[in-house]
Amino acid sequence: MSEPLQHYAKVAMPLPLYTYFDYALNAEQSQQVVIGGRVLVPFGKRKVLGIVVELSNDSTLESTKIKNVLECLDQVALFDATLLKLAQWLAQFYIAPVGEVFATMLPSALNKGASATPAAIYYLTSKQAFSSEDKQRAAQLLARSKQQLNLYERVSEHDLRLSQLKSEFSNTVIKGLQEKNLIELVEKPEPTGQWQQQIVLGSKQRPNPEQSIAIASINQASQFTVFLIEGVTGSGKTEVYLQVIEEKLLLGKQVLLLVPEIGLTPQTVKRFQRRFGDVVAVWHSGLTDAERLKVWQKAKHNQLGIVIGTRSAVFMPFADLGMIIVDEEHDESFKQQDGLRYHARDVAAYRAKQYDISLVLGSASPALETLHNALNKKYRHLQLLQRAGGAAMPVMKLMDLTGLPLQSGIAPAMLVRIEQTLKKGEQVLIFVNRRGYAPALICTECGHVETCNDCDTPFTVHVTTNNLQCHRCGQNKAYNAHSFKPKCSVCSSQSVTTQGVGTEQIQTFLTEQFPSYSCVRIDSDSTRGKRKLNTLFDEINQQKHQLLVGTQIVAKGHHFENVTLALILNVDSYLFSSDFKAPEKLAQLVTQFSGRAGRANKPGEVWLQSYQVSNPLLQDLVNNGYSHFARTLLQERIAAHLPPVSWQACLRVEHIDQKTALAFLVFANSLFSQFKHLRYFGPFPAGVEKKQTRYRYLSVAQADTNQYLNKALEQVRNSLHKHSLSAKVRWAIDIMPADFS
Ligand SMILES: Nc1ncnc2c1ncn2[C@@H]1O[C@H](COP(=O)(O)OP(=O)(O)OP(=O)(O)O)[C@@H](O)[C@H]1O
Ligand SMILES: [Zn+2]
């Protein structure tokens, strides 16, 4: 007997709602519909695409109230059972609206209704079997066109992809043969699993003993295991990834490699493509919707071996996933800061468990939560203590700034070092945490600071674009720094002056100081567009520039062989933050940045300029390195009962009226107070207290276990939802927030 037909579908809608909706299916739709596929349904006056999560024979709603499904879009599920389960876990873990979870997991083309089926491939095929008689006949027929004959003979040997022939044969040639009825165009789906034959293995490095142990351990794991590779910068972590990936690919398994920002590390992608050939696809926000859809389809239909992607690649459907790697796992860009506030590393862990495969986390400066799990033996801990290929670790030193006359923020002794390094024919890398010329413009007469009204934030002076910019909201206004005498907008005095230094200023200063050397700026202003960054890196490696001035961008995994001096202008700003994670972030930044120095055969030196050289944190980091520093910090966190030994959630509220935002948080705190084992703090102003005219406040709730926190927050969420201010203010729950900004 056949299964009874399913008359109702439970649908997840891409809306900030926490429940599913029932829709009725007609007889035809009951046969078409698939769980995990999209349906078009009426919602109010709109038509909306939702995901079918369940089918059933009855509904709790009255049948007259149930609307009908308008259309079933997919024949194949976009979310198989595993991905459906992942979506439900995400909604639960992040206390998030389930429909939004589904929408976040899909590429936007599919949310907009594009077909999920991979486009067919066109082939040319010959019309008949190819006997010697045919050959003669064709030769006569095609006597006047050598090109056509050539194509005909090739197609007769085997079917050929149209796209591959287009570069060799003109349309006229192809059309001509079709009209003579000798060949025809056929559509075929792209074959699955064929990427395995397309792997072209590049040569590999002979692993050193530490790398060998790491590779062997990872290769031996036959079930769900999380590895932390804690390897100093330049220790050859990437080489370990390459070798363990190769092992999986040769078994026919697909691999997902998550990286913080692909645009910033084009060298890494090239390295993977050189090593494995055409089976590597990249996924990041710089791709078009269509390009991303293609990668998604190929992963799902087993038409590629490796996806190298940023955060959202963690939701990629794979036909046969064999391993997930998260490179630079400490990086904050793995945490989504709006909508579904997920952490890609946590999602990766859940997926690895689902598929019973390995998750490899790698970093020279692991996040404290990862380190904690490794030290507790929840994760397998692999360490690479030596730089691969014989390079020494750079020496880290502190430069005491007290009482020194600085020029554009640089100490006199540092200028001497820079000159010595340049004279040796080596490169210098300088880190400043500000783009632009200067972070503020003030009037020395009346004290007025030019400020963005919408954000209560000083404007940053930009000389290259001749304007003042708000780095919070992007607002800008014209300002000509070169004009004869700029005026204060309040008292009209001409004694306005810039405060602090940014990348532009240092570039200008160093260019004046060292006119015979080229100085480049590497920040988001100077590198708009991916080509530009690529070109810049190539030029740096070709030694066209000797002085490199950059923001956070320069701290990310780049390999500059000839940089031997690295300088961090001001580390103090990180020492006085109210965020308990600030020291961890500072140490990660310093470690990653200093890892850019002395990577080849010349020793590197890293200088941190500070007014606080006796600060114990700085001392520990400089003298003992990240590994020691992080363990000390972890002990402090444990003593203070802070994450990773406790769990936090942050409730963020925004409104144009301060009081309204605060009132909502006061109500939230009264809800928190009903849970005996929940501690809560706040309301506090967020790190950025005002942005785009809205005031921003937050409260933090903390519990010993995730289970307790989760249960409490779910109830709090439900009560908040019913509050009259809920629809007025903007609010969000952020589980294990990356910061309080
Ligand atoms: N076994 C090896 N023998 C010789 N050279 C090696 C070996 N492994 C890696 N290298 C080289 O050492 C350099 C650093 O390696 P790799 O980029 O893999 O390090 P990493 O740990 O990923 O660095 P980072 O932490 O900076 O991202 C590269 O030039 C690489 O080619
Ligand atoms: Zn602003």
pLDDT value of residue 636 = 94
Separation of 194 CA from ligand 2 center, angstroms?
A: 52
> In angstroms, how far is the first alpha carbon of the chain from the final one?
60
pLDDT value of residue 741 = 87
**In this model, does residue 590 exceed pLDDT 50?**
yes
**Mean pLDDT value of segment 234-256:** 96
pLDDT value of residue 388 = 86
**In this model, does residue 160 exceed pLDDT 90?**
no
Does the beta carbon of 225 sit less than 6 angstroms from any atom of ligand 1?
A: no
Q: Is the dihedral of CA 240, 241, 246, 248 positive or negative?
A: positive
**Which atom of ligand 1 is nearest the CA belonging to 384?**
21
Residue 488 annotated as binding?
Answer: yes
Tell me the best of 210, 239, 589 to mutate to test the pocket of ligand 1, counting ligand atoms within 8 Å of each CB and taking the most: 239
pLDDT, tens digit, 9 for 90 and up, residues 523-535: 888 877 666 778 8
- Paired strand residues for 427: 563
Separation of 478 CA from ligand 1 center, angstroms?
A: 46
Place of tokens 């109230």: 65
Q: What angle do CA 36, 40, 46 make, to 5 degrees?
A: 135
Residue 473 annotated as binding?
Answer: yes
Place of tokens 């913080």: 260
**In this model, does residue 1 exceed pLDDT 50?**
no
Residues 311 and 315: their CA atoms lie apart, in Å, by: 9
**Which atom of ligand 1 is nearest the CA belonging to 557?**
27
**In this model, does residue 6 exceed pLDDT 70?**
no
Does the beta carbon of 212 sit less than 6 angstroms from any atom of ligand 1?
A: no
Q: Which residue has the higher pLDDT, 478 or 429?
A: 429
- Lowest-confidence pick of 50-54, 80-84, 441-445: 441-445
The token duo for 576 is 């006085």
pTM for this entry: 0.90
pLDDT value of residue 469 = 93
- Side-chain-side CA neighbours of residue 400 (13 Å): 6
pLDDT, tens digit, 9 for 90 and up, residues 680-725: 998 999 988 999 999 999 999 999 999 999 999 999 999 999 999 9
The token duo for 347 is 């999602």
Contacts of 467 (CB under 8 A, 6+ apart): 476, 477, 478, 479
Separation of 561 CA from ligand 1 center, angstroms?
A: 12
Contacts of 737 (CB under 8 A, 6+ apart): 341, 648, 649, 650, 700
Average pLDDT, the chain: 90
Residues 436 and 481: their CA atoms lie apart, in Å, by: 12
State the CB neighbour count (10 A cutoff) for residue 146.
10
pLDDT value of residue 4 = 55
ipTM, two decimals, is: 0.97
Separation of 234 CA from ligand 1 center, angstroms?
A: 5
Does the beta carbon of 556 sit less than 6 angstroms from any atom of ligand 1?
A: no
Q: From the centroid of its chain, how far is CA 373?
A: 23
Separation of 207 CA from ligand 1 center, angstroms?
A: 10
Residue nearest to atom 16 of ligand 1 (CA): 236
pLDDT value of residue 133 = 72
Separation of 20 CA from ligand 2 center, angstroms?
A: 39
**In this model, does residue 241 exceed pLDDT 80?**
yes
Residue 446 annotated as binding?
Answer: yes
**In this model, does residue 290 exceed pLDDT 80?**
yes
**Mean pLDDT value of segment 653-673:** 96
Does the beta carbon of 237 sit less than 6 angstroms from any atom of ligand 1?
A: yes
Residue nearest to atom 13 of ligand 1 (CA): 234
Residue nearest to atom 9 of ligand 1 (CA): 236
- Lowest-confidence pick of 132-141, 646-655, 711-720: 132-141
Q: What percent of the chain stands above pLDDT 90? A: 66
**In this model, does residue 306 exceed pLDDT 80?**
yes
Ligand nearest to the CA of 460: 2
Q: What angle do CA 108, 113, 116 make, to 5 degrees?
A: 85
pLDDT value of residue 529 = 67
Q: Which residue has the higher pLDDT, 376 or 263?
A: 376
Ligand nearest to the CA of 601: 1
Q: What angle do CA 47, 48, 52 make, to 5 degrees?
A: 130
| Buried-exposed string 216-247: b where 16+ CB fall within 10 A, e elsewhere | ebbeebeeebbbbbbbbbbbbbbbbbbbbbbe
Residue 452 annotated as binding?
Answer: yes
3-state secondary structure 341-406: CCEHHHHHHHHHHHHCCEEEEEECCCCHHHHHHHHCCCCEEEEECCCHHHCCCCEEEEEECCCCCC
Tell me the best of 213, 215, 238 to mutate to test the pocket of ligand 1, counting ligand atoms within 8 Å of each CB and taking the most: 238
pLDDT value of residue 480 = 79
pLDDT value of residue 124 = 83
Q: What percent of the chain stands above pLDDT 70? A: 97
